[in-house]
Amino acid sequence: MEVVKIAWRNIWRNKRRTLITASSLMFAVIFGVSMRSMQLGTYDNMIDSAVRQYSGFIQIQDTSYWKDKTIDDLMPMSTELATNISEIEGVKSVLPRLESFALISSGTKTKGALLQGIDPLRDVDMTGIADKVVKGRFIEPGDDGFVIGQRLAAYLKINVGDTIVLISQGYHGVTAADIYPIRGILKIPNPNLDKLLLIGDISTVQRFYGAEGMLTSLVVNIEDKNSINTILPQINEIMTNKSLVALSWTDMNKELKQQIDADDGGGIVMLIILYSVVFFGILGTIIMMTAERKKEFAVMVALGMQKGYLSIIVLLETLFLGMIGAVVGALVSSGIVWYFHDAPIHITGEMADIYEQFGIEPVLMFSTDLAIIQAQFVVVLSLLIMAVIYPMVKIRTFSIMESMRSK
């Protein structure tokens, strides 16, 4: 306990140096936590808008479907398979989907649309897509109407209650054409989907395509995206039908995964550069401090203090110095992260257009995962331990007489 008191008093003997060193660590932690939180939060938002609310983390499909994505490569609806998969630990829901492209027409406007048949009640519970309705209402089970993306509705100049014409090729080459009312308009976070998506009750979409009892996929949503590698093998064990295959979201959305990996790598490089600068700043301070205190160390050893005991004091001084900056930095950065988590940054202008070209909502979200702050503490502690090696080595090897003669 006495060692701790001595170390604490020592760091405040030169308040200016202590405050400057602690401040450098504080700002490094604030910048590191804020940047990492923004990165991971934005990745989660991208995955949520592109994966959780659309494709799901895992899909069960016919083995031929993913290559060509044609309406002819469907799978039969299997309640037994869906029930067995839903019983796997970590699986939140198994949702039936039937989707294909169709021409949607209103007045003189015509555009290609992604027509998606869903189970309204179960999809709402899982994805919360009904909360995206900005006008009208969401579809109900057995509804013969559709809800449409806001951008698609704006292009076609249609509103709630208007009628649209759908034309497509149905199952096994039958002609699919019919007239349907619009029940509601959705504001979908993913800009690309907002320009394409038309959603209806799965039974209505099955009738339109002449594919009663058939699906393009079973969408499997899971509680934690990091558990996908443990859940996927269990699904493969359950599937006895060899004409079906289970695909993860990284298999279906490789471009998004590559974008995230590339950006994540760039962020890590920036953090390495930041902490390298901070490390050499701390190391320079410690080298200077050690040189200034050579005579002090020599006197203490000459009076009977063991070098090992002195090394522990210097180690504690360095840890105290670092922890002051790290703790204050963590507290300040936590406030910043929580504020921007509740009020995310909305990107505008040309940068927003670039985001939308990649199908990403132009919003910078912040993650509140405590592991981000914990990781910064581990990094700071590692830097301090590396930096303190120098004075500990000097204490072990210095000569008392030479140090006493030093100016």
Burial 257-284 (b: 16+ CB within 10 A, else e): bebbeeeeeebeeebeebbeebbebbbe
Pair 363, 344: CB distance under 8 Å: yes
Q: Are residues 233 and 342 in the same domain?
A: no
Q: Are residues 225 and 268 in the same domain?
A: no
Residue 124 confidence (pLDDT): 75
Cα–Cα distance measured from residue 363 to residue 349, given in angstroms and rounded to the nearest whole number = 12
Q: Are residues 174 and 293 in the same domain?
A: no
Residue 147 confidence (pLDDT): 94
Residue 103 confidence (pLDDT): 93
Residue 175 lies in a domain: yes
Closest Cα partner for 392 from 321, 308, 333, 269?
308
Residue 158 confidence (pLDDT): 92
Residues in the chain: 407
Residue 162 confidence (pLDDT): 93
Residue 407 confidence (pLDDT): 55
Q: Are residues 220 and 309 in the same domain?
A: no
Residue 225's domain comprises 64-241
Cα–Cα distance measured from residue 51 to residue 61, given in angstroms and rounded to the nearest whole number = 16
pLDDT along the chain (407 residues), means of 10: 78 81 84 86 77 78 86 88 88 89 90 91 76 90 92 93 92 88 88 87 93 90 83 87 85 78 82 83 78 73 73 81 85 89 81 66 82 84 82 72 60
Angle at 118 between CA 113 and CA 121, to 5 degrees: 140
Q: Are residues 117 and 145 in the same domain?
A: yes
Residue 305 lies in a domain: yes
Number of domains in the chain: 2
Q: Are residues 75 and 28 in the same domain?
A: no
Phi first, then psi: give them for residue 366, nearest 5 degrees.
Answer: -120, 135
List the structure tokens of 373: 């702050």
Task: For residue 15, give the 3-state DSSP assignment.
Answer: helix
Cα separation of the two ends of the chain: 32
- Among 241, 275, 291, give the residue marking a domain's end: 241
Residue 156 confidence (pLDDT): 93
Residue 216 confidence (pLDDT): 92
Residue 340 lies in a domain: yes
Phi first, then psi: give them for residue 57, nearest 5 degrees.
Answer: -75, -25
Residue 4 confidence (pLDDT): 81
Pair 133, 188: CB distance under 8 Å: no
Residue 158 lies in a domain: yes
Q: Are residues 391 and 265 in the same domain?
A: yes
Cα–Cα distance measured from residue 323 to residue 37, given in angstroms and rounded to the nearest whole number = 21
- 118: amino acid identity, one letter: I
Give DSSP secondary structure letters for 98-159: EEEEEEEEETTEEEEEEEEEE-HHHHHHHH-GGGGEEEE----TT-S-EEEEHHHHHHHT--
68: CB partners within 8 A, 6+ apart: none
Residue 399 confidence (pLDDT): 66
Helix (H) or strand (E) holding 379, with range, is helix 370-397
Residue 286 confidence (pLDDT): 78
Q: Are residues 204 and 269 in the same domain?
A: no
Percent of the chain clearing pLDDT 70 (strictly above): 94
Pair 317, 16: CB distance under 8 Å: no
Residue 53 confidence (pLDDT): 62
